[in-house]
Structure 1
Amino acid sequence: MRKTFCAMLVLVAVLFFGAAEFCSGRNTSFSCIEKEREALLKFKLCFHDPSHMLSSWKGNDCCEWRGVGCDKNNRYVVSLQVRGSIFGNQRPQLYLIANVKEVGSSLLKLRYLEHLDLSNNNFNGNLISPSLGLMKQLRYLNLSDAQFRGRIPGELGNLTRLRVLDLSQSYYGGLKVDDDIQWIARLSSLQRLDMSGVNLSHASSNLFQVLGMLSSLSWLSLSDCSLKNSHLPSHNHLFNVTLLGNVQHFDMSQNSFHGPIPIFLQNMTSLTFLDISSVNLSLTSSNLFQVLGMLPSLSWLNLSSCSLKNHHLPSCNHPINFTLLGNIQYLDLSVNFFQGPIPIFLQNMTSLRVLYLFSNQLSGSIPDSIVQLSKLERMDLSGNQLSSVPDSIGQLSKLESMDLFGNQLSSVPDSIGQLSNIGQLSKLESMDLSRNQLSSVPDSIGQLSKLEGMYLSGNQLRSVPDSIGQLSKLENMDLSRNQLRSIPVSIGQLSKLENMDLSGNQLSSIPDSIRQLSKLEGMDLSGNQFGTGFPKWLQLPKTIKRIDFSNANISGHLPENIGHMMPMLVGLFLENNLMNGSVPKSLCNLKHLAVLALSNNMLSGTIPKSLCNSKSLKYLDLSNNRLSGSIPNCWRNDQSFLFIDLSSNNLSGLFPSTMVELSSLSVLHLNNNSLHRELHVVLKKFTSLMVLDLGENKFSGNLTSIVGGEIHNHSLRVLRLRKNLVSGYIPSELCSLSQMQILDLADNNLTGRIPSCFGKFPIMVNATQLIHDSSDEFWDHTPLMEVRKGIYLVYSWDRAPLMEVVKGRYLEYKRQPLRLEISIDLSSNNLIGSIPEELVFLKDLHNLNLSWNHFLGKIPEKIGQMENLESLDFSKNGLSGRIPNSMSSLTKLSYLNLSYNNLSGPIPTGYQLQTLEDPTMYVGNPQLCGAPLLKKCSNDTLPPTTTNFKDNDEGALKRMWFYIVMLLGFATGFWGVVGTLIFVKNWRYAYFQWVDDVQHWILVVITLKVAQFKKMFNGNQEY
């Protein structure tokens, strides 16, 4: 009875406490802690989440939310992973829109949080919140690439349980530490520390002594931290550094060390991974490998870009190096200055799996001893001057990748494919022999049964063996830029081939067997000579995604059903051919088509309306054809167009009003047609345009419509309205186009004056940012389209050509030159007034053309400040006065036209003007004189000998300082003497006594001399 009663009490207790547990909200079957759920929702409100990474953060149980991890027993949040993702040029997924302190306060409510990952997000350059130092349960903290900026708070040193700390900055680089770094030493449990990209230049000189106090540290990365020699421990301070003996992974690459290899490395005896790449070790003595040989566990070594030379390599006189380096499996000695044969000591490193020696100056043959590296899997010897490959190369049975690109090889040994013995290249997957001097390929190449990538471009091949069809696993084949006239039929047996590049050869046909390539996605046949008899190229597998037949001398019609024949097509390139007929409607209906490039052909007919149905097309180039009619007026804002070029056709009619609905459009070329419309319709809605070229049309209206719309708030860089019917004045609001670098309003009916604010266009004043555009926000506008596996095609705003009048003639700018061109052309209008003095501030302007207007007054006196000016045209105006002497300081000027004005006086001489010897650039100015004109100047009008404008300024400055110093010297000397005589009585008496004595001595000397001369004179008379 008693036992039954006790059992019932136990059961009641269990039920009671279970109910209490349930009511407390900690039951494992239901929801998380309510306070923590509210904290997470508060955290979510701090961010803009365009990619919906936190879209699952709703409902009662936060433990089920993406990135949230809870303890299984008490349901406390112990892990928070909201790591952003970056692919290509895409930006982080979360963008901070609140104060960073709000993020910290919400995280502090997660009292049991152990794992926090906020990496690859955008914290808008905010400081890391010091409140993170209060989260003392943390064991893992990752803030890498989160776009934090400023000082790393020392409060992080309170995280004594932290095992992993990642503050690395791979592309933003805004974090730094100050002189006090003792907080790092308090992280007593730290095992992994990554501060790559953090600015440690201000860290105290005891940096490595502090790091040496982290006894548990095994992984340390200080790459690209601006470290210098002063941060390295000296011989007198190596005590704590010996504690780094537990570190196994150490990366100190891309720093500013120079001189010998850091001596403390020899104490890090546990090292398995060491990266010292991109550090100047040129002053290291010849014992470099002896020091490294003292690291018995080292298996991964990177010494690339270290300015090493032959004397740094171990020689046969130091055999100890060979044995101690025998454990190394990865060795990178690329991008150095090694010369002569491949170093012989490598044959003793028998554990090597990866060997990189590319971009050196190695020559001669690859030695037969290479076969002793029997474990070698990857070998890159590209970018050297090697002349031959030994027959024994076939014995490297484990070799998976061989790169000999850019050498001087003339043949490939037959043994490369001999597989009769087990010791052959049976595992080779990638072989790159591009840019050599190969004239043939051995038949044995067909026996490389596992080859997936074969690259033989830029050689002298005239044929390919039939055995190539035996490469059953080949996926990528590059035979471009050779001398091939035919392709073997056996190519159709390459059942796994995905990408084939045969461009730049002499092919006139391709075998029908190519249609058997069931997995073919990308094919480049550009730069061949297919001619008129080439209709069979359309018979391709339906898997094809990218076709490039540009510059291939192809003629004939595009078949109307081409879209049905290649339904998976993503990119079609047929530029620079002789194609005629119309643009097939079926082509525009392809669901995946992103690139359609048909420029420079003879296509006729109208632009198909089916283009308006495409949601995938991003790049459209139909320029330089014979298309006629109007542009379809059916565009929609859900289309993806980024680039449209319809220039140089016979298009006419109204500009389609619906085209402004293309909100993502970055580049629009409609020049050299007969289109018309009021500008306010054209420009009222474009918000993403970077290039707008409407030149050589019949557009009318005035420029106020530009500043009346939204376009001025964004990124317009090129505005070309040349040769239209634009009228009215140039509004000063045009200066709000802050990214402007090419402004061409020539040959219109503009009136009024040039606004003085034209001297403030930021890029024209300072073009430094153009050089760094590849890493700036500008490239966010660059479309990236994947058109075949592993290959990206980049079409930037400057890919299409742009016609500009420079140096008196039309020049076509393409791609990179256009991106760096900076120009203003206002010629052939009815502009009046004087040339604004403010234009001289545009020191990075390359081309300035104000010809054929009605400008009066003088040429700006300080025009010499426009130091990058290459072309200057002020002709056909009413300018008067003298040519400023400063013009001779325009050292880059190669074209000058000042003809037909009212200029007078001498032509300045000196520097660049003396190289411009064509007198026609001054014709029509009867009052001008001096070379190169035949009219000589009179003496009173001779031009002063001019020097560089900057030199004149510097000379004037030097003269000013000379006079100042001279006056100061005179004043100091004068008052140093006179002041002393006035205020010191004894000195004054002594001075006047000295003067009186000197005077008396002079009088005595003169009297004696006079008496002596008289006596001599009288004596001569008596004689």
Structure 2
Amino acid sequence: MTSMLPSLVELHLRRCQLDLLFSLPGLNFTSLAVLDLSANNMKPLMPNWLFGLTGLDSLGLRSCDFSGPIPNGLQNMTSLQDLDLSGNNFNSTIPIWLYNFKGLKSLDLGWNDLQGPISGDIGNMTSIIHIDLSYNKIEGRIPRSMGGLCSTKFIDFSYNKFGDISDVFRSLTGYISDSLEMLSLNACQLSGSFDDNLGQFKNLQELHLSVNSIVGPLPWSIGRLSSLKSLYLTDNQLNGTIPEILGNLTKLEELYIDYNLLEGIVSETHFANLKNLKILGASDNSLIFKVSPKWIPPFQLDQILLRSCHLGPRFPNWLQSQKKLSNLDFSSTRISGNIPTWFWNLSSGIHYLNLSHNQIHGEISYIPKCDDHSYPRPMVYLSSNQFSGPLPTISPCLSELDLSNNSFSGDMAHFLCGRSNETSQLRILILRENLLSGEIPDCWMNWQSIEVINLRNNNLKGSIPSSISFLSSLISLQVRSNSLSGEFPPSLQNCTKLLIIDLGVNEFVGSIPAWIGKSLFDLKVLNLRSNRFIGEISSELCHLTSLQILDLADNKLTGTIPWCVNNFTFMATVKNSNNWYWNSYSYYDGEIIETEFVVTKANEYLYSTILQFLTSLDLSSNNLSGEIPDELSSLLSLISVNLSRNHLIGMIPKKIGNMKSLNSIDLSRNQLSGKVPSSMPNLNFVGYLDISYNNLSGEIPTSTQLQSFDASSFVGNKLCGRPLTQKCSADGEPVNNGGNEIDKREPKVDWFYLCMALGFVMGFWGVCVPLLLFKSWRYAYFQFLDLMWDKLCVVCGCR
């Protein structure tokens, strides 16, 4: 049987569901040159039979779930030219023996947990062309000996912890400062990769250093990387100005310097020779772009990402020359005035357009038609400007539209109902914070791709239209702060993918339907605050196991709090870094982020980026009665709970101290009785507490936490002990069996101020009012004043 097995040169077994016990007994490996076992579950250790394959030229072990240190058994494979160990869990330093693989041309150790510095011995790998150490925890400096790696074309050290930028480029550009670098320079001169006097690292084409801890200004030596096509320096701590010598990189196609601390002026000189540039990413710096209004760039860009740079006040005229744009981000760039007419013709090919957070004004009649077959679908963000007039007409192929925080006015009928035969591809519609009025049109049947509708803070009235039922993909519906009315929309019963419903601060009436708990099983946010809902809270809502935020405050709800609240599984599950999740959606560049108003600590806050971590239960300002169910204390992940201003009786749940995630708790203005639970001091993270104006009695449990709150958190009860001034007796009751001093204190009458007030009232009504009402009194009064003035002048001699 063995004699029938052929001698192999290449063996590819990628994604074959192999495990650690896999082997090929009897197979002739003597001629094997290429072995690829990537994407198999061979954890945690490499099989020993691998180490005997010392004649391999290429070994691929990507994503095999190996862990621990890189095994020393590989050190005898000195013939390797290609080694891929990426996507595993190796957590050691890079072994010294690996640097002796002088024939290695490609090394990929990315996406591991490697630590420590890179050894200076890396200069021994003189044949290396491709080196990838990205997504590790490698730190320190890049060794200067890398200046001797003259054949290298690709370096990816992104997502590590490298430091000084000047040291990085000193290593890569042959800067001469010691004998080791002189040796590196001589080696490259012999190979012909460096110019005699400049030490240029001619072959390097891609350099990835994004997301490190690199500090300092960009050095002038960057201009020596004459073959460079891609430079990624995103998300570091680079500062200072951009050197003009950057414009010497004539082959540069991709430049990413966004998310740094760069500043100063950028002029035409910086781009003078960048004729091949296709991507310019400089967002989130303090750069000021100053170019001539007649400047015509030498490049044709595909992406321009300049968010938070200073481009204004005029709309950049040089943009007219860019005919190949697909992504444009000019958000927060201080542009004002109208959008020029030529721009809308240019924008028809743009897939991602962001002009938000500027001072652009005027009306928009249409957002140009795009190619129905284009992909990705176009996304347009024009929020937080000063646009006015009616909503624009949009192309049906548009995917995302954000016109929020402007002054668009009028109704939505022409916007939603203007097309009868065309089906829109729109997924995201954000129109919040405008001046829209009228009713929400009943034309949603042509918008069946829509996932997010946000109409918050407008002047809309009427009910939610029945055609909403066609939106089977709807994830989020926010119509908060309008004047909408009617009952809870029955049309939402068909929108089974809903995660967020916010109907707060409107005029909805009727009961909260029980079908919510059955039809909208995945719901995470239910906000019905400040409406006119009546009736009881149905126990069917307890089927909403994924619920994070339940806000039914400020309505007219009656009945008891359902005992089944412990079925809110998400609120009950203790979270850690591994099981936090937001089962929602992500949009391009994070521009669309779900936001939600939540009342906590007696104030209303707008949450966005941390919304996925927030859990809140607010049933305040209703007519609820009965006891607080003990099951409430099982909601271990609840951050905020507010049951205030109801008619609740009974005791505070004894195990409330188990709710250690609580940051805000308000049980005030009810009829709760009994003692403050002894477990309450266990709430170590509580920043707001209010149990005032109940019928609680006894001593406030002693703890650093409870005694740190103001006395107002406990007044209106029969409590004693700090922070109240009412002392406790030996048996823990208030002295003399009285309430706390703030409650018992009788109001004192200040007779002086009372008499003064009465005198003022009598004088006003007895003198001033008759003078205003009776003409004869006024004549007599002023004649009396004249007579008295004459007599005074005679006595004093003033005449």
For 1:574, the aligned partner's letter is L
1:215 matched residue in structure 2: 27
Shift of 1:357: 4.2
Residue 465 to residue 720, structure 1, CA distance change in 2 (3 Å): same
- Tell me if structure 2 keeps the 8 A contact 1:862–1:886: yes
Taking the aligned partners of 2:560 and 2:483, their CA distance within structure 1 comes to 29
Match of 2:380 among 555, 559, 572: 572
Match of 1:499 among 303, 309, 313: 303
For 1:248, the aligned partner's letter is L
Question: In structure 2, the residue corresponding to 1:828 is in which secondary structure?
Answer: coil
2:602 matched residue in structure 1: 808
Question: In structure 2, the residue corresponding to 1:398 is in which secondary structure?
Answer: coil
1:72 matched residue in structure 2: none
1:319-398 aligned at under 5 Å gives the runs 324-332=101-109, 336-339=114-117, 343-358=119-134, 362-363=139-140, 367=144, 369-382=145-158, 383=160, 384-388=162-166, 389-390=169-170, 391-392=173-174, 395-398=200-203
Question: In structure 1, the residue corresponding to 2:320 is in which secondary structure?
Answer: helix
Residue 657 to residue 301, structure 1, CA distance change in 2 (3 Å): closer
- Tell me if structure 2 keeps the 8 A contact 1:189–1:214: no
1:248 matched residue in structure 2: 35
TM-score w.r.t. the length of structure 1 is: 0.61
Residue 651 to residue 924, structure 1, CA distance change in 2 (3 Å): same
Residue 324 to residue 940, structure 1, CA distance change in 2 (3 Å): closer
Question: In structure 2, the residue corresponding to 1:620 is in which secondary structure?
Answer: strand
2:651 matched residue in structure 1: 858
Q: Percent identity?
A: 31
Matched, 1:919 2:706: no
For 2:262, the aligned partner's letter is Q
Shift of 1:750: 0.7
5+ residue gaps, structure 2: 175-193, 735-799
- Tell me if structure 2 keeps the 8 A contact 1:330–1:354: yes
Shift of 1:502: 1.0
2:288 matched residue in structure 1: 485
Residue 324 to residue 480, structure 1, CA distance change in 2 (3 Å): closer
Taking the aligned partners of 2:617 and 2:44, their CA distance within structure 1 comes to 46
1:616 matched residue in structure 2: 425
Match of 2:613 among 814, 820, 833: 820
Residue by residue, what CA displacement relative to the aligned partner does 1:686-733 show, whole Å, maximum 9, x if unpaired? 322110000000001102x341x6863531111111110101111112
Match of 1:432 among 227, 232, 244: 232
1:118-137 aligned at under 5 Å gives the runs none
Question: In structure 2, the residue corresponding to 1:593 is in which secondary structure?
Answer: coil
Question: In structure 2, the residue corresponding to 1:819 is in which secondary structure?
Answer: helix
- Tell me if structure 2 keeps the 8 A contact 1:671–1:693: yes
Matched, 1:782 2:782: no
1:386-465 aligned at under 5 Å gives the runs 386-388=164-166, 389-390=169-170, 391-392=173-174, 395-405=200-210, 406=212, 407-413=214-220, 416=223, 425-426=226-227, 428-434=228-234, 435-437=236-238, 439-457=240-258, 458-462=260-264, 463-465=266-268
Residue by residue, what CA displacement relative to the aligned partner does 1:22-76 show, whole Å, maximum 9, x if unpaired? xxxxxxxxxxxxxxxxxxxxxxxxxxxxxxxxxxxxxxxxxxxxxxxxxxxxxxx
Give the number of the structure with larger relative contact order, counting CA–CA contacts within 8 Å between residues 6 or more apart: 2
Match of 2:660 among 840, 862, 867: 867
Larger Rg: 1
Match of 1:762 among 569, 582, 599: 569
Aligned pair count? 683
- Tell me if structure 2 keeps the 8 A contact 1:687–1:710: no
- Tell me if structure 2 keeps the 8 A contact 1:745–1:825: yes
Residue 759 to residue 396, structure 1, CA distance change in 2 (3 Å): same
Taking the aligned partners of 2:238 and 2:520, their CA distance within structure 1 comes to 54
Match of 2:544 among 726, 730, 737: 737
Residue 577 to residue 857, structure 1, CA distance change in 2 (3 Å): same
Shift of 1:909: 1.8
Matched, 1:880 2:686: no
Residue 248 to residue 298, structure 1, CA distance change in 2 (3 Å): farther
5+ residue gaps, structure 1: 1-157, 164-187, 201-206, 219-242, 315-320, 418-423, 785-791, 944-1023
Shift of 1:936: 0.9
Taking the aligned partners of 2:653 and 2:5, their CA distance within structure 1 comes to 66
- Tell me if structure 2 keeps the 8 A contact 1:555–1:580: no
Shift of 1:639: 2.2
Matched, 1:931 2:722: yes
Shift of 1:326: 2.6
For 2:217, the aligned partner's letter is S
Match of 1:893 among 670, 680, 686: 686
Residue 720 to residue 672, structure 1, CA distance change in 2 (3 Å): same
Residue 313 to residue 574, structure 1, CA distance change in 2 (3 Å): same
Shift of 1:416: 2.8
For 1:759, the aligned partner's letter is N
Comparing 619-628 and 536-545, the one that deviates more? 536-545
Taking the aligned partners of 2:5 and 2:611, their CA distance within structure 1 comes to 52
Matched, 1:696 2:472: no
Shift of 1:605: 2.5
Taking the aligned partners of 2:356 and 2:612, their CA distance within structure 1 comes to 24
Residue 536 to residue 337, structure 1, CA distance change in 2 (3 Å): farther
1:5 matched residue in structure 2: none
Matched, 1:520 2:325: yes
Residue 380 to residue 436, structure 1, CA distance change in 2 (3 Å): farther
- Tell me if structure 1 keeps the 8 A contact 2:9–2:33: no
Shift of 1:245: 8.2
1:651 matched residue in structure 2: 460
1:312-323 aligned at under 5 Å gives the runs 312-313=95-96
Q: Higher helix proportion, which one?
A: 1
Taking the aligned partners of 1:755 and 1:852, their CA distance within structure 2 comes to 17
Shift of 1:560: 1.7
Taking the aligned partners of 1:270 and 1:591, their CA distance within structure 2 comes to 60
Question: In structure 2, the residue corresponding to 1:460 is in which secondary structure?
Answer: strand
2:769 matched residue in structure 1: none
For 1:460, the aligned partner's letter is L
- Tell me if structure 1 keeps the 8 A contact 2:412–2:441: yes
For 2:537, the aligned partner's letter is I
Taking the aligned partners of 2:49 and 2:369, their CA distance within structure 1 comes to 68
2:791 matched residue in structure 1: none
TM-score w.r.t. the length of structure 2 is: 0.77
For 2:613, the aligned partner's letter is L
Residue by residue, what CA displacement relative to the aligned partner does 1:825-853 show, whole Å, maximum 9, x if unpaired? 11111111111122222222222211111
For 2:310, the aligned partner's letter is Q
1:910-989 aligned at under 5 Å gives the runs 910=703, 912-914=705-707, 916-925=708-717, 927-941=718-732
Shift of 1:742: 1.2
Residue 652 to residue 622, structure 1, CA distance change in 2 (3 Å): same
Root mean square deviation of aligned Cα? 3.8
1:540-689 aligned at under 5 Å gives the runs 541=346, 542-552=348-358, 554-563=359-368, 570-584=378-392, 586=393, 588=394, 590-612=395-417, 613=419, 615-636=424-445, 639-681=448-490, 683-689=492-498
Match of 1:751 among 549, 558, 563: 558
Taking the aligned partners of 2:33 and 2:368, their CA distance within structure 1 comes to 63
Residue 736 to residue 430, structure 1, CA distance change in 2 (3 Å): same
Residue by residue, what CA displacement relative to the aligned partner does 1:141-165 show, whole Å, maximum 9, x if unpaired? xxxxxxxxxxxxxxxxx9x9999xx
- Tell me if structure 2 keeps the 8 A contact 1:274–1:298: no
- Tell me if structure 2 keeps the 8 A contact 1:500–1:522: yes
Residue by residue, what CA displacement relative to the aligned partner does 1:324-382 show, whole Å, maximum 9, x if unpaired? 5333432537753333xx63322221221112345555555763x54532321201234
1:468 matched residue in structure 2: 271
